[in-house]
Structure 1
């Protein structure tokens, strides 16, 4: 899913896929620990759940799947899970709204079909990798990160609803399924919120508050050695209090000790750092770059590079240092954060903890937000008014 499509879709749990990595998990072997006890990044890629487990769980023996007894502390009790209605569809799965143990949840259901290719060794390797990925995710606990509830490795007795109140297409009954369950966030995506405010823009205080929520969530992930790799406003959810919560860990991974172990154009065009676009080694600073683009988007309530094709954006960001144009009405304190975050040299980008400090130091009492459409003719940035 790129930044130009499905902006108005519900983003409870992202199911659209970004650009795939050059190396897949299935060819790397099962998960392992490095010498210092940290999980190897090249073994942690939740995207493999969508793209590489297709059909593999169908080959597992029924007795290994339907024991009815959780084998891991993250494995859900399917008798407590109820799927209600479809929220969104994707290439490799369907997101339902439902309840788990009387808690509102979003459930990403992945249906694996028979492919006749996977060996028992492949199945064991991918199963171990998925267990490792979920074990990392379930340890995350932060107010600006969507809360993981649990997962199921595969089952044949999920109660899929017959009636679909949000789509005409009837859901199928999976013979073998895998699901990931997270807290349900009712406020939609940050992208949707910005689109609704594209004309009147946001008060400067709201801009900084939203930016701080996202920055604090990313700082927490980085402190846990987690690189999100697909930071964009479409992957951020808003709760009823408009608190930003980072979602869609479909391509998140634990950071490698050696940046050369993290390669591949993973992410969404327009938000991807130059080193990622160029296929070079990268680290958590790719998230810092993406945050800079999101910060511009939050301030402007506009889409970056709206008039350019993906190819033009990709080549220009790398070869010509293309970045979104910062409006003249943007306070220098905020513009400085954007510029530092999207610096072409990853080593010059600040850590997210420093970004949090910079945003906290910005004075919002005098305004400084974008000038609403219609308030001044032509460019939105030349009027005398300073915006809300």
Structure 2
């Protein structure tokens, strides 16, 4: 086989339970892509239609933390996806290789994973199979969520024990019981992934299939701080909340979980925590992180999750335990840098050994006088800041920091409550105090996206309801409620549909 659709196959990158992935070339757009030929799809027409519907929905997602789907088609009766080609390694390989990561790096990965999933939820797409093998870390350090739209196929492949066991460890209790999964199931699975990232081992792992099922349904994982005493209790609490057995007791929206993670990151930044003391390297890495594996030959780590190429990824460090990070000063004073002595400087020039002691004494006296004069000139020209003025400046800076933190919290809460307008106002207030503030900009963008989604989905729900397509109207109203839980119009349409 040399082609799939219009794509010219270059090499096979890997094979797993869901199909085969190839590096391919798109002659139309003149670019290299990844082509995934789906092999695990049911012949049932309804299942195939469901797959294509969800794959098309996934193809509409455009977010930096979600892999981009370029094309969808069929080849000799088998569906295929053409996607962006990624280089790096998946999170499963990173954890299994015990790659050391700083707390800051783990937190950034957690936030990126949640941002990608939250974006999908806002657009009405549920993943249903969040696991480390479906999170790819590119060579630039960006987390990308894979396989949106494919997880539905797993339900028809439960007899494949290898596939099931690879997924089972990360399933929510309701999925294990055979109940319908919703966005809160993704939240549970994300919590399991983050438990593994922060703790270095799986949250639920038994000696057998049945033992693992029992642990998911009944057991509470060992506290994360027992596995890593340096882990902040705030992060342990976030993961524990996501892992509640009852979906009603967990975070109700991924935006809630994301808000807690970003609030904690902001708290660390404002407190100048050592965890964020090292400046980020290129690609978002923290300086204490190990180097990422580079591509060997033709992108050895492209498209993760397949055992046939896992050995081609180099693993860096011996442990995934948190690496203590020592803060580096952001600014260095001139005295903090060693400088070579200037032989022409009269303060350090030594008289020849042949001079008489009297001459030496005279030179020493001159040096003392010169030193005193220089000190007097410096002190005269550089007037010290009055203590009162310094205190006022410190108080003003502290007040600004507190106002920024409060504004971010208010924007986040408004967004969680579905009040996009208020969220934008609070974010704008922060940007007025700190132009370009990344967290405020992110919150404002999320509020704008949410407002657009609410308007679009609510309009669609009304039109569908008016035409008698009540099931579709209910789904569209559900998209609105996923973003704005308090939207009365959407709730009414949901109840009447």
- TM norm structure 2: 0.47
Separation (CA, whole Å) in 1 of partners of 2:78 and 2:179: 36
Deviations 1:240-281, CA, capped at 9 Å, x for gaps: 21110000235446xxxxxxxxxxx99822211112212234
Would you say the 8 A contact 1:228–1:249 is kept in 2?
yes
* Structure-2 change in CA distance of 1:336 and 1:129 (3 Å): closer
* Structure-2 change in CA distance of 1:312 and 1:149 (3 Å): same
- Give the superposition deviation at 1:316: 2.5
SS of equivalent to 2:258: helix
SS of equivalent to 2:65: coil
Deviations 1:319-375, CA, capped at 9 Å, x for gaps: 3x332431233201101100110011211211111111111122262339xxx9xxx
Match of 1:95 among 21, 29, 48: 21
Aligned length: 260
Higher helix share goes to which structure? 2
1:5-84 to structure 2, matched below 5 A, reads 78-79=5-6, 81-84=7-10
Deviations 1:183-241, CA, capped at 9 Å, x for gaps: 1111120111223335xx31111011100110001101111121111111111111221
Deviations 1:264-317, CA, capped at 9 Å, x for gaps: x99822211112212234421011111111111111233344564332121122
Separation (CA, whole Å) in 2 of partners of 1:186 and 1:386: 25
Separation (CA, whole Å) in 2 of partners of 1:387 and 1:216: 26
| Alignment match, 2:117 | 218
SS of equivalent to 1:107: strand
| Alignment match, 1:26 | none
- 1:148 equivalent to 2:74? Answer no
SS of equivalent to 2:119: helix
- Give the superposition deviation at 1:182: 0.8
* Structure-2 change in CA distance of 1:226 and 1:213 (3 Å): same
The structure number with the bigger radius of gyration is: 2
- Give the superposition deviation at 1:112: 9.8
| Alignment match, 1:184 | 85
1:329-340 to structure 2, matched below 5 A, reads 329-340=230-241
Would you say the 8 A contact 1:251–1:266 is kept in 2?
no
- 1:292 equivalent to 2:229? Answer no
Would you say the 8 A contact 1:226–1:252 is kept in 2?
no
Match of 1:322 among 203, 216, 220: 220
| Alignment match, 1:40 | none
SS of equivalent to 1:188: strand
Deviations 1:55-96, CA, capped at 9 Å, x for gaps: xxxxxxxxxxxxxxxxxxxxx9944x2211111123463210
Separation (CA, whole Å) in 1 of partners of 2:184 and 2:165: 14
| Alignment match, 2:127 | 228
Would you say the 8 A contact 1:98–1:105 is kept in 2?
yes
Would you say the 8 A contact 1:229–1:267 is kept in 2?
no
SS of equivalent to 1:178: strand
| Alignment match, 2:275 | 367
Separation (CA, whole Å) in 1 of partners of 2:40 and 2:235: 46
SS of equivalent to 2:167: coil
- 1:237 equivalent to 2:136? Answer yes
* Structure-2 change in CA distance of 1:322 and 1:353 (3 Å): same
| Alignment match, 1:161 | none
* Structure-2 change in CA distance of 1:309 and 1:387 (3 Å): farther
Separation (CA, whole Å) in 2 of partners of 1:282 and 1:230: 10
Match of 1:197 among 81, 86, 98: 98
Separation (CA, whole Å) in 2 of partners of 1:334 and 1:112: 37
- 1:311 equivalent to 2:189? Answer no
Separation (CA, whole Å) in 2 of partners of 1:275 and 1:92: 23
Deviations 1:7-43, CA, capped at 9 Å, x for gaps: xxxxxxxxxxxxxxxxxxxxxxxxxxxxxxxxxxxxx
SS of equivalent to 2:257: helix
* Structure-2 change in CA distance of 1:266 and 1:202 (3 Å): closer
